[in-house]
């Protein structure tokens, strides 16, 4: 059996949950077994996980705020109850806070940020990116039980069935030792780690007052905005927009880099993007080496032109 | 308070990556190592600030070979009081490292065990959670702000699309993200003093490995950049739509 834990911030299942179930389903097909999905706390519409291949959806009520200790205990108990040999979770901040705990509880080998289905031809091997995307490592897990967190935007959700009824997990939820005082989430925009389209700008913008053209571009595309580190450090942009080795690591479908040189520490957080567009006036900017599409030009001319072109495209499509 | 900070070394991001022994090992020849930035800039510095405000001790711990002493001495130069190195080979698994740290932490009876949110080489983000489970402690990950009053800490942490504020009593484990503190550069006096601070080398406990590296590979080569005339943004939009299929 494969158990998939799906995180549900504020009671909502997100794309990462559907991706994890899709991964679990594909692995289960290859291994000749089935998928049980587990949600914890109050979750809207959890039965929808059946559509992505869960043959059973369990809910453990009574742990509405996040405590890695409580959640790991519940996941491990359910894993034992359903006889799971593999536990899968999203590689988001929730999954990463849990993976190690669940592994210790189950005496399982764990790999985070997995980007391949398990290769079971000789043992159990999975791949992940390491060294800022400069290498791929193939890990072999030799323990009976395995715990994996799945890299985001890597396994697109696939509908393979219909909703299933949600059943109570029937495990005790231990008391939490963490008191949650406040939860503040940004409303209205897709958070960076989940964004499929990202528009990012750097020091080439010259002044925080110039970001209007960036916001306009993001608005036309329905994209989330990001920035390089120096721009966040001087307070031109909020810290949560900082991408790179020391900021958020993202892998959107489209990353548009505007007035960013493409230093290796910046690339470390964005080079897994599927398509990269670079707009820079310096033809020697290192970012062009990582780009799919490059535009050598002054961003203050190119970006307004791009805005017009996208407006025209959106109106026609 | 008795504070323990886990510090790891990691290849500098600018390092050229290559492999040895039929691509089964990372080639350490000529690799420039640094202290993992999350450990150094945020975890260690916040621990030092807490000690400076309320007294106590800051101990660092590293699991690895004698070659790691350079990184450990840097931690002492920044201000840690003493250090533990569990003498272990270069390429042990996260579980092995976590087990060693848990053993030492148990023996030391620390109030707070600090980690960086992840290392910048393997980005595993697993050791903090593993150690917390082994010690049966609450684990507050991705912390960006931490204040302590008596035995209670108030911590802001990054969550999906926002922030959460939690309260927790000691003992607990915490992983540090950007914002928890400001990087400190060791000064000459710190570097001199670090030479005389205790660095205790202890033997490892036995661990059965569960995860091992089968092989390494380089990512497929990126195709050449397709340059587009800066005057012709309709062309870019067209390519993003029909070729890249992202809009
Ligand atoms: C340990 C460490 C960790 C780091 N972590 C990160 C990280 O996580 N993220 C990160 O981003 N950086 C990080 N950095 C910093 C990184 O090395 C670079 O300094 C930084 O990314 C540069 O930001 P930038 O590209 O915005 O600025 P610059 O390097 O100054 O580049 C500005 C670019 O804008 C272009 N430009 C200027 N004017 C125009 C115009 N009118 N039209 C078009 N183009 C124009 C220039 O040609 C130039 O290429 C880190 C550094 C270290 C040492």
Residues of chain A with CATH 3.40.50.1220: 192-316
Token couple for A215: 């916001």
Q: Angle at CA A270, nearest 5°, toward A268 and A272?
A: 95
Q: Is B130 on the interface with A (CB under 8 A)?
A: yes
Tell me, rounded to whole angstroms, the distance of Cα B234 from its chain centroid.
45
A309: nearest CB among B126, B236, B244 = B236
Helix (H, G, I), strand (E, B) or coil at A268: helix
The confidence score (pLDDT) of residue B160 equals: 82
Tell me what the mean pLDDT of segment B52-61 comes to.
Answer: 97
Tell me what the mean pLDDT of segment B227-247 comes to.
Answer: 97
Tell me what the mean pLDDT of segment A16-34 comes to.
Answer: 97
CB pair distance less than 8 Å for A138 and B214: yes
* A30, A124 contact by CB (below 8 A): no
Tell me what the mean pLDDT of segment A166-184 comes to.
Answer: 95
| Model confidence at B162: pLDDT above 90 | no
Count of Cβ atoms closer than 10 Å to residue B94 Cβ? 24
Tell me, rounded to whole angstroms, the distance of Cα B11 from its chain centroid.
12
The confidence score (pLDDT) of residue A63 equals: 84
| Model confidence at A88: pLDDT above 90 | yes
| Model confidence at A188: pLDDT above 80 | no
The confidence score (pLDDT) of residue A191 equals: 86
DSSP character at residue B223: P
Tell me what the mean pLDDT of segment B124-131 comes to.
Answer: 96
A170 phi-psi bin (left φ>0, alpha ψ -120 to 50, beta other) = left
A221: nearest CB among B127, B129, B247 = B247
Rounded Cα distance between A259 and A302, Å, is 11
The confidence score (pLDDT) of residue A10 equals: 85
Helix (H, G, I), strand (E, B) or coil at A107: coil
pLDDT band at B191 (very low <50, low <70, confident <90, very high): very high
* B46, B114 contact by CB (below 8 A): yes
CB pair distance less than 8 Å for B214 and A177: no
Token couple for B105: 């932490």
Q: Buried (b) or exposed (e) across A30-45, using 16+ Cβ within 10 A?
A: ebebbbbbbbbbebee
Contacts of A238 (CB under 8 A, 6+ apart): A232
A72: nearest CB among B133, B165, B210 = B133
| Model confidence at B70: pLDDT above 80 | yes
Closest by CA position to A185, among listed B67, B164, B62, B109: B164
The confidence score (pLDDT) of residue B106 equals: 97
pLDDT band at B246 (very low <50, low <70, confident <90, very high): very high
pLDDT band at A193 (very low <50, low <70, confident <90, very high): confident
Rounded Cα distance between B156 and B163, Å, is 7
| Model confidence at B183: pLDDT above 90 | yes
Rounded Cα distance between A289 and B221, Å, is 11
The confidence score (pLDDT) of residue B1 equals: 96
Helix (H, G, I), strand (E, B) or coil at A58: strand
Token couple for A315: 């109106």
Q: In A, which residues are within 8 Å of B17 by CB distance? A: 131, 134-135
Token couple for A219: 């608005």
Rounded Cα distance between A285 and B227, Å, is 13
* A300, A209 contact by CB (below 8 A): no
| Model confidence at A187: pLDDT above 80 | no
Q: Angle at CA B25, nearest 5°, toward A144 and A273?
A: 85
In B88-131, at which residue ranges do the beta strands (DSSP E only) sit? 112-116
What's the topology of domain A192-316?
A: Rossmann fold (3.40.50)
In chain B, at which residue ranges do the beta strands (DSSP E only) sit? 2-6, 9-11, 19-20, 25-26, 33-35, 57-64, 82-87, 112-116, 139-149, 152-159, 162-169, 172-176, 199-202, 211-217, 226-227
pLDDT digits (tens, 9 = 90+) for A45-68: 999 999 999 999 999 998 888 999
In B43-119, at which residue ranges do the beta strands (DSSP E only) sit? 57-64, 82-87, 112-116
Rounded Cα distance between B176 and A246, Å, is 12
Rounded Cα distance between A177 and A140, Å, is 35
Bridge partners (DSSP) of residue A255 are A198, A276
Bridge partners (DSSP) of residue B227 are A294
What's the topology of domain A2-168?
A: Rossmann fold (3.40.50)
Ligand 1 pocket member A59 (CB < 6 A) = no
Q: Using a pLDDT cut of 70, give the percent of chain A over it.
A: 100
The confidence score (pLDDT) of residue B245 equals: 96
The confidence score (pLDDT) of residue A28 equals: 98
The confidence score (pLDDT) of residue A240 equals: 86
Helix (H, G, I), strand (E, B) or coil at B46: helix
Token couple for A15: 């794309």
Contacts of B109 (CB under 8 A, 6+ apart): B2
Q: Buried (b) or exposed (e) across A126-146, using 16+ Cβ within 10 A?
A: bbbbbbbbbbbbbbbbebebb
The confidence score (pLDDT) of residue B14 equals: 85
Count of Cβ atoms closer than 10 Å to residue B147 Cβ? 11
DSSP character at residue A51: G
Ligand 1 pocket member A282 (CB < 6 A) = yes
pLDDT digits (tens, 9 = 90+) for A131-174: 988 899 999 999 999 999 999 989 999 999 999 999 999 999 99
The confidence score (pLDDT) of residue A64 equals: 81
ipTM (interface predicted TM): 0.95
A190 versus B240: the higher-pLDDT residue is: B240
Q: Angle at CA A179, nearest 5°, toward A178 and A184?
A: 110
Ligand 1 pocket member A240 (CB < 6 A) = no
Token couple for B197: 């601070």
C-alpha A264 to ligand 1 mean position (Å):
9
What part of B 43-72 touches A (C-beta under 8 Å)?
Answer: none
pLDDT digits (tens, 9 = 90+) for A267-296: 999 999 999 999 999 999 999 999 999 999
> Quick one: angle between helices A68-82 and B127-134, nearest 10?
80
> Quick one: angle between helices A68-82 and A93-106, nearest 10?
50
A240 versus B234: the higher-pLDDT residue is: B234
pLDDT digits (tens, 9 = 90+) for B79-110: 999 999 999 998 889 999 999 999 999 999 99
> pTM to 2 decimals?
0.92
Architecture of the domain spanning B2-219: 3-Layer(aba) Sandwich (3.40)
Nearest chain A Cα distance for residue B4, angstroms: 19
| Model confidence at A194: pLDDT above 80 | yes
């Amino acid at each position: 059996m494969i158990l998939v834990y799906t995180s549900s911030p504020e009671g909502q299942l997100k794309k990462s949950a559907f991706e994890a179930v899709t991964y679990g389903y594909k692995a289960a097909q290859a291994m000749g077994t089935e998928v049980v999905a587990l949600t914890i706390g109050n979750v809207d519409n959890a039965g929808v996980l059946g559509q992505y291949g869960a043959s059973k959806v369990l809910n453990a009520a009574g742990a509405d705020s996040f405590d890695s200790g409580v959640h790991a205990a519940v996941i491990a108990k359910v894993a034992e109850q359903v006889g799971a040999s593999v536990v899968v979770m999203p590689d988001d901040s929730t999954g990463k806070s849990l993976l190690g705990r669940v592994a210790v509880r189950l005496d399982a080998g764990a790999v985070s940020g997995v980007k391949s289905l398990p290769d079971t031809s000789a043992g159990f091997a999975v791949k992940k990116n390491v060294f800022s995307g400069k290498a791929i490592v193939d890990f072999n897990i030799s323990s009976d039980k395995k715990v994996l967190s799945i890299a985001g935007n890597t396994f697109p959700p696939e509908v393979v069935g219909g909703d299933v009824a949600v059943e109570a997990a029937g495990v005790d939820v231990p008391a939490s030792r963490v008191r949650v005082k406040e939860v503040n989430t940004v409303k209205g925009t897709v958070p960076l780690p989940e964004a499929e389209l990202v528009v990012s700008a750097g020091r080439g913008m010259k002044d925080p007052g110039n970001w209007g053209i960036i916001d306009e571009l993001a608005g036309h595309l329905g994209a989330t905005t990001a920035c390089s580190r120096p721009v966040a450090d001087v307070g031109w942009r909020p810290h949560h927009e900082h991408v790179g080795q020391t900021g958020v690591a993202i892998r959107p479908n489209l990353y548009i880099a505007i007035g960013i040189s493409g230093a290796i520490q910046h690339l470390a957080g964005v080079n897994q993007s599927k398509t990269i567009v670079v707009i820079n006036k310096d033809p020697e900017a290192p970012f062009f080496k990582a780009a799919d599409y490059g535009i050598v030009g002054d961003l203050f001319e190119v970006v307004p032109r791009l805005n017009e072109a996208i407006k025209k495209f959106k109106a026609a499509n | 308070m008795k504070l323990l900070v886990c510090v790891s070394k990691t290849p500098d991001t600018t390092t050229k990556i290559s492999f040895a022994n039929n691509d089964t090992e990372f080639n350490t020849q000529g690799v420039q190592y640094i202290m993992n930035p999350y450990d150094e800039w945020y975890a260690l510095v916040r621990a030092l600030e807490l000690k400076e405000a309320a007294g106590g001790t800051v101990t660092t711990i590293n699991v690895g070979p004698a070659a790691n002493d350079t990184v450990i001495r840097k931690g002492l130069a920044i201000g840690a009081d003493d250090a533990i190195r569990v003498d272990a080979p270069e390429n042990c698994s996260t579980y092995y490292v976590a087990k060693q740290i848990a053993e030492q932490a148990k023996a030391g009876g620390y109030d707070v065990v600090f980690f960086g949110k992840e290392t910048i080489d393997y980005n595993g983000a697993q050791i903090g959670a593993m150690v917390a489970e082994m010690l049966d402690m609450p684990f507050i990950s991705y912390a960006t702000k931490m204040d302590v009053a008596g035995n209670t800490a108030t911590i802001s942490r990054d969550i999906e699309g926002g922030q959460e504020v939690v309260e927790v009593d000691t003992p607990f484990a915490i992983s540090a993200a950007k914002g928890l503190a400001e990087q400190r550069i060791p000064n000459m006096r710190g570097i001199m003093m670090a030479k005389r601070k205790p660095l205790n080398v202890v033997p490892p406990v036995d661990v059965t490995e569960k995860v091992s590296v089968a092989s390494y590979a380089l990512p497929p080569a990126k195709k050449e950049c397709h340059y587009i005339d800066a005057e012709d943004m309709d062309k870019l939009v067209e390519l993003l739509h029909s070729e890249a299929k992202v809009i």
